Structure 1
Amino acid sequence: MISSILGIADGWVALVFLLCLGSALLCVVYSALNWNRGDDSVSTADVKWEKEEVEVEKHLTD
């Protein structure tokens, strides 16, 4: 059985171990596929928030 190959006596622990490895592999594949997909466009709300943030920081440092 695969659990004895990995040196893990309990089958549930072996299953969790393999699922962790599988999820890590899926994360690597997902990031490789979406590596250069592009950034989200900047909305007007983002620009407004940034201006307000700068004003608040100036007010706090004065």
Structure 2
Amino acid sequence: MIIIAILFISVGLMFLVYPHNITNASDQQIRDRVITSRWVGGSIIVLACLFLIMGTFQLFDQASHHIGH
């Protein structure tokens, strides 16, 4: 679970800091791609954080179920 979350976070960071030099694009197209890339990167990082939170809740649930028996 942690390895998958680390992979998601690294992909999200790649989208956030990826160089956006495109040769045959106007400034507006480059700006739009940068904004879209940042949204995608941020969304992937948030997804990974939620994945870790849900995994933690699942571990707590399994531990409490084990204690009850």
The TM-score bracket by the shorter chain reads 0.3 to 0.5
Q: Which has the higher contact order (CA 8 A, sep 6+)?
A: 2
